[in-house]
Amino acid sequence: MHTPALKSRLSQLSTVVAALRLEQGDRQHLGAMILRLHRGRWPLMRCLAMREVGGVLYEAVRWRRCRAPSFGVVTWRADGLGLSWQPAPTGKAAIAVLRSLR
């Protein structure tokens, strides 16, 4: 069963996906992929922060289902067919990298 904090985080992610217009047109696959990797019975990642820079979507994440905490910055492909990531030592470091993007 979901805790209230988890439900709140998931609803915030849905709001972000809607605000970035990831549910419409060409970016529909991207929005679906983001929600699929963050939701469900075994989500793969937890969103720490998300930002769009120059039409490219970046996200600071905590990888789930790992023995030790693992963080990184994910770059989402605009076609919704993939992603790439850059590892970070801590969540704060991942957020700092995200904020430094221009």
Which tens digits make up the pLDDT trace of 22-31?
A: 767 777 778 8
Which tens digits make up the pLDDT trace of 63-99?
A: 988 888 899 999 998 766 678 999 999 999 999 999 9
The pTM for the full model equals 0.78
Residues contacting residue 67 through CB under 8 Å, at least 6 positions apart? none
* Cβ contacts of 82-88, under 8 Å, gap ≥ 24: 83/33, 85/61, 88/60
Give the residue extent of every domain in the chain: 4-100
Tokens encoding 75: 């770059």
